[in-house]
Chains A and B, each alone.
Chain A
Amino acid sequence: MDEGLKSELQKHGVFVIPFEELYNWGRKNSIWPLQFGLACCAIEMIASAASRYDLARFGAEVFRATPRQADLMIVAGTVTKKMASNVVRLWNQMPEPKYCIAMGACAISGGPFKDGYNVLKGIDRYVPVDVHIPGCPPRPEALIHAIMTLQRKIAGQHLEKEARPRWYDKTATTEFPMPAYGARDLEPPANREIWQPPRAYRDVTLDEVGKK
């Protein structure tokens, strides 16, 4: 539809928008986060929801204490290996459509504990993350920015055809395997379907050289 005509109609109180846009507009302005925190980032998350930063302005103030009622999982804090399978279980228990924000250095990469034996090197090893927020911990403004980024992502999602989201794709998996406690590490150490180990740009494997 022509943008000029659209705005002309709006002046007369007539709004013409695609159904998809209306649907996404509703969804993006009522994101209900799952109420759980793992470490100090959770304190910033609480501050974001409280009066000073007021996450309610973005429609995301209804923190639910059950995954069955939540749309958004904010992984706020250090995910220890012992906790990782429980986080994946919570994610699996959430109904679609669901989104995940990895908040803080620990949740996105292990942070200062990356070299340790007990901390998961980023929750994106097991759960598909929509928005990563760096920071240690990120300020409430950063979390609000992440929510806004997520809102833009939701607004841009199409409900049909190839671009349709995960939950409209019957073949896509909505159940992510929980890691088991192994003798030395979690098994498997990462879900390789959604996560690949990062590589230095100057490293090339022998196989790749052969292909060239």
Chain B
Amino acid sequence: MLLLSGNFVFCQTTIQGKITDSLQEPIAFANIFLKAKNDEAIIAYTFTKENGTYELKTDKTGFYELSFSTISFQTKTVEVLLKKESETQILNVQLIAKTFQLNKVLVYSDRPITIKKDTVIYNVDAFKRGNEETVEDLLKNLPGVNVAEDGTIKVKNKEIEKVMVEGEDLFGKGYKLLTKNLDAKTVDHVEVYDHYSNNRLLKGIENSDKIALNLTLNDEYKNQLSTMLRPGYGLASENRYDVKSNLIWFQKKSKSYAFFNLNNVGEAVMGDEIQEMISSSGDIDFENEEAYSYLNLIGRPPDLGEERTNFNNAELVSLNNIYTFNPKITLKTIGFLNWDEQNFFKKSKETYFLPTGNFTNTEDYKLRNKKLTGFLKTEFLYTISKTKSFEYSGRYNRSHADSRTNLFFKNELYNEFLEEQQFNTSQRFVYTNKIEENQAFVLTAQYLFDEKPQNYRNNRFLFQELFPEQDSVTNIFQHSEHKVHTAGLESEFYSRDKRENLFRIKSGVHYQNHELNTDFELLGNNETIALPDFQNNMEYRLFTIYARPEYTFELRNISLATSIGFRQYSNVLNTSFKINKKSPFFVNPKLNIEWKINDDHRITSFYSYGSENPTLQTLNENFVLRDFNSFSKGTFDLKPMNSSLFFFNYMLGTPVSTFYANSFLLYQKEEEYLSSDLLIAQNYQLNNLIRLKDRNFLNAQTELNYYISKLSINTRLKLGYSQQKYANKLNGVLRGLELDTYNYGTEIRSAFSGKFDFHIGTEWFGNVVKTEKETRTNTMNKSFLNLIYEPFENLNLSLNTERYYFAHFNTGDNSYYFMDFQAKYTFLKNKLSFSIAGKNLLNIKTYRNLYIDDSGIFSSSYKLLPRYFLLKTTIRF
């Protein structure tokens, strides 16, 4: 060892000399490099100085070659012997002038990144750093691909549409399920597609700003299983758990994904990812194709977030697969089963101010809802040729739900039962033909069916006042059933001219058939009374033929999009006794302008005018029970309704300017609208829909930002106002109404370079209801303070505090404070991490809010999930 290092010190050779040309003039900046004899690798190099001298040091020994080269001279190579002893060799060289000539285009084969029009291809090997576990980690390494903390992937600051695997899309917008779980080493290439089209043949023809990723897999790692398990369990609290697991398995022809989740911490078990995975695009744009359910017992929770209000117990199993029969034929199957149990608790006090006198009701109810949902979707894609494709997509969804409530209404107990079923299906066929490079034709045929039958029972009779003759009734029952059949055939033609302006025309026929049966019954001892005013049995058929040309073009810095919809309808509404027919013709134009005046001023604006047919749920000629004590009835009038809409947006500055403001204004005018003729009594409410003229809605919002660079903070000011003017009838009195809302608030957020950051803000929301006689106001305030502290890289701490304040409570608490805490510690990056979350640290058990409208003041208090701590670990293998 000693000897070796000794050698190192002593055997340094210095080669010195001067390079000259044939006239003994020095050659400056010539290359001198040393190579072992018969070897390519340069081991040392230097350049000559201005006077032509050089000096090269090396610790190598043996036979070497020293080359002298420069562009204007012939390269000269001299053999040198480097001895063990350190020495200085002098080597002067004379070079012969030579003209170097080269005219060549170079070609590269293995570039780490290839950029083609609308496609960027990353050769993944060039970007691996060795510590990547999941595809998400890998994507983080790719320049130009940005992965947010929550897994959202952005390219060019825009969220991507999907992540495909070998051109196949199993996850849709729920791509995080894939990127967070698939093993990084399975991936060979990542491709980023810009201006992506879901229909491959429309690429470059339709307007698209979508971006999609595609992963190509390494053959070696196909067949590999990626598994993630994330158990979470409550600490020092009630029995709380949250368990997730998933499994990915890719084979050559078959790609599978399974997912499993159960929790009782309020988290929607379906999750956004699963929702996004089953959502479908490319459907015909039908209207009102969903069946309507008349009764809904689950109240709307206050806007505090599900983790505070949702008492649940949910389980989900999902299995998904894509199978490739051959490169032209693929079959995709998505299925899941979801079981959910929900509890809901609400107490409310309703004070009515009516033309006929004032009164107060109290309600206290508990609800338990159990729901089972099954879903299956299959997609079959057949690529006929380079310009033609055929696609079939079928969807089936069935669910069954049971709810029961214990309702104390005015301190008397009622028990409600609601049984709901849903079945819907969609069958879609799409044929695409790319006629020319810039022209395409898409033909879509689709059939949809939806039904939502409901059976409702209340074990007591509340409507003695309404039905004074019925004195032997003990309980009530309602059966309602809405069925919708929808079928359509639509053709779309796209054509893009040489100046890139797009012309598109959609045309087709739709047929829709609604069947409605509602049956409200009074049940007594051994008798059933069905009152004719509370039964509906009707059929509503709509037939349309339509065309909608659309043209977009650009004029310098103005971009314009125009379209006009032409629709000829033939509609029939009939009951057993009556028939109502109408054949309206609609012309619905729309104009959209985007105008970039300069870098600091941008305007977006649109105007549209449209006519609409009334929907089935506004047409029922007799009453339907809508709530435990309210009935409603429609108009049986088929006259279309017209409205116009205007929108204007102005942006001053940009998000990176010191001062940045964004404002918009929206104005809607309805020539005719549906309003209510409402009769409110202590024990029941009857609502008749009526048609009135002129409703106006105005909404203006603005947001101003100022960035103080000395302090690294942004200050934000928000202002908003909306106004709605219309009329209704309450207990026989027709009156004009004005509803105003306003909001104003401010926020400060830091962007310090250190470990600590904060975000603080407050906002006031006001509601004003004005009738001719009175004005009612409701004001609330929402404030928050969020603190983030990252003492070191693996540990992240955050503390969020919120305050809700209601200005108009006369009694009891008028402000509520919430505090949540979260700590996350990463033990082994992407393999093992721990997190602890403390929810509702101040243990607020009930929350009360206030709501006003033109009939009264309503205060409700809700039970919340008490304080709990949840310890979670994430394990991946």
B is a partner of A? no
**B contact residues vs A (CB 8 Å cutoff):** none
A residues at B contact (CB < 8 Å):
none
